Chain A
Amino acid sequence: MADPAIDANVTPPRMEVSEEIAVQITDMNKWYGSFHVLRDINLTVHRGERIVICGPSGSGKSTLIRCINALEEHQKGRIEVDGTLLSSDLKNIDKIRSEVGMCFQHFNLFPHLTILENCTLAPIWVRKTPKKEAEQAAMHFLEKVKIPDQANKYPGQLSGGQQQRVAIARSLCMKPRIMLFDEPTSALDPEMIKEVLDTMIELAEEGMTMLCVTHEMGFAQAVANRVIFMDQGQIVEQNEPKEFFNNPKSDRTKLFLSQILGH
């Protein structure tokens, strides 16, 4: 593999996928003005699934997962998250956002708050958790991502990898049932990619439902149970990782894989 960050030969841990549906997207379309950015997207995600979304830049990957927590609104079709239909009703949107965690390429930590405050903010204000309790939970998750000793620093004092792990911990503090990742490692220096991917793998092993936009193919092979390839706003191919990498069906996928893996 061209990707040294993850050892792809490790056998994927047994991770259960249940019959329960976490996200259901039906005939979803989205336009930016007159630009048809997502076209007839159909996607069903079961609870416990780890889905990796890849595709060339500009193919609409970010837009797709941002539609799932309504950071972008779609114009046609249905998106159901955890049984709640995404509509323009603000109550619904806030509810879904508080149950769907999201990690961004540039972390989007709040620079004016300490790491601990970053993590307790949403539980305190959205979930109305008492401060003490929220801080305990936050420390728990900061330990999980292995940076409890940085709790009182500000984001600007941390390395990129640490910041991204804080961002993951911050999302986990809301006890989300689904996690979305939008290229979480592509703004990181190579030596920091592994620490973030390790955290994500751990999360997957605990049965978190995950949708990850990433080009870390090692990660895809290690934890994904499905890989989705997007191009020009459409889902072009999806398959389980082995088949997807060893035996891609469409020409676009083949071309993309050959470029990204440097074959």
Chain B
Amino acid sequence: MSDTHAQTVGYVRDTMIDEQPAPVGQTGAVKWIRENLFSGVINTLLTVISLYVIWVVVSHLYPWLANSIWDAGSLTECREIRDATVGPDAPAACFAVITDRWQQLVFGFYPPEHYWRPVVALLVFLAAIAPVLFQGIPRRALWLSAAAPFVLFALLWGGSIWGPVAVALGFVIGFVVYRVLLPLAGNLAAVLGAIIVPLLYWLFLAGPLAGALTSVAPIGLEYVQSKDFGGFTLSVVIGVSAIILSLPLGILLALGRQSNLFIINKISVAFIEVIRGVPLIVWLFTASLLLNYFLPPGTNFDLMLRVIIMVTLFSAAYIAEVVRGGLAALPKGQYEGASSLGLDYWQSMRLIILPQALKISIPGIVNTFIGLFKDTTLVVFIGLLDPIGLSNAIRASTDWNGVYWELFVFIGLMFFIACFSMGRYSLYLEKKLQREHR
């Protein structure tokens, strides 16, 4: 005979049990500490060792930071101040190098009277991506976002505004060609036309057109050369351009890799594997050295532009693989559901497949972007003055010869803020989509 009523036959509960608090000692901080830090010999040992390591790090770092000196004109001056206040040999960070040189770290050799331009450009950029990143902003704002790249170019580089306008016109031409050819010649011809016609236009017509317009109406900001870009401006311009360009390219490559069309499939696979299989630094050297041999003599193809293209291609290959994973994770039924309703290939991709595949891929995509952004520091090896390059330059001056950690801490912190924000945004997006779709 069982001793609980529930196990006997014919039992009926007559009173319901009220909710009761858990026994004391089973909740709260004490329980957490006991369970997570001291739940056994090994765990206790690990806790003690970790505490020791933390102590060592903090005991060295803290005085260094606490004694830091923010106002000095050179490292020697820093040392004098330190000797006077906390005594010789005391650890003291000399962040005065940042207060003295932050403009260089942020803007590179951008003309100081034009520092407002990168700042405004950053604001324009943030305004332009807001409707993409967050819902609740009218969808029509996306058209302004599409125009943003050209505005940003005109702001950052300056020169006649007709250059960017002429380039933008190419996209309009492509769109018109597609629309005109679609009913006449079918999808494939329209797509080819929309690629070839603008290319021809850019190669042969855009330059003269911009020139003619400039001679008629010379408006625009003062021209700033690419070689004057540096510091975080350079990193952000390269990173953001590559991020924005590599996402659509990566998606197209992923679709290409999935495609049944033999040539498109093989081209995508070859592209992805070749680009991914070679280190980025090699591609950057290729961009800086080799491309000169392939380009017609006399053409002065901007080094920064070359770097942007290379970084874009590089991360596009990674994005493609991430997105491919997302595509593969979708059940076949989604493709069939879309086809059975009569949606054509691009419609099913755009409306059904990609929204879901990209949602799955968000962590991987953002991960790739974070990697890309940090990899922009590699451009120092081909002579571009990113923050690392500038820190070398700053150290080369007699004033700041010998400053290492302070510069790196600052640069690291800036990168951390940017990358951490991206990571947080990715989490926000994942959560939001999760909420919406379940």
| Chain A residues close to B by CB (< 8 Å) | 69, 71, 90, 94-95, 97-102, 104, 106-112, 121-122, 125-126, 154, 156-157, 170-171, 174
Contacts and interface: CB of A to CB of B under 8 A. Distances in A.
Given A121-B351, A125-B347, A126-B341, A111 B333 contact: no
A172 B63 CA distance: 74
A175 to B, nearest CB: 11
Given A111-B356, A112-B355, A94 B333 contact: no
B44 interface: no
A97 B341 contact: yes
B126 to A, nearest CB: 27
B341 A170 contact: yes
Nearest to A122: B341
Interface string B364-398: 00000000000000000000000000000000000
Contacts, number: 71
Contacts of A95: 342
Interface of B: 187, 331, 333-334, 336-344, 347, 351-352, 355-356, 359, 433, 436-438
Contact of A97 (B339, B352, B436): B339
A65 to B, nearest CB: 11
B322 to A, nearest CB: 18
Contacts of A101: 340
Nearest to B340: A102
Contacts of A71: 336, 339-340
Given A104-B337, A156-B438, A112 B342 contact: no
Nearest to A100: B340
Given A111-B437, A112-B436, A171-B341, 18 more contacts: A90-B187, A90-B344, A95-B342, A97-B339, A97-B341, A100-B340, A104-B333, A107-B333, A108-B331, A110-B337, A112-B433, A112-B437, A122-B342, A125-B343, A126-B341, A154-B436, A170-B341, A171-B340
Q: Mostly helix, strand, loop or mixed at chain B's interface?
A: helix
A156 B435 CA distance: 11
Given A94-B342, A126-B342, A126-B343, A108 B437 contact: no
Contacts of B436: 112, 154
Contacts of B331: 106, 108
A168 B426 CA distance: 36
Contact of A156 (B187, B344, B356, B437): B437
A-B pairs, 3 with minimum CB distance: A98-B342, A108-B337, A122-B341
B438 A174 contact: no
A106 B340 contact: no
Contact of B437 (A94, A100, A154): A154
A4 B334 CA distance: 32
7 contacts: A71-B336, A106-B331, A108-B336, A122-B341, A125-B347, A125-B351, A156-B437
B203 to A, nearest CB: 32
Contacts of A109: 337
B329 to A, nearest CB: 13
B341 A98 contact: yes
Nearest to A117: B351
Nearest to B433: A112
Most central of A104, A106, A122, A174 by chain B CB within 10 Å: A122
A94 to B, nearest CB: 5
A126 B333 CA distance: 19
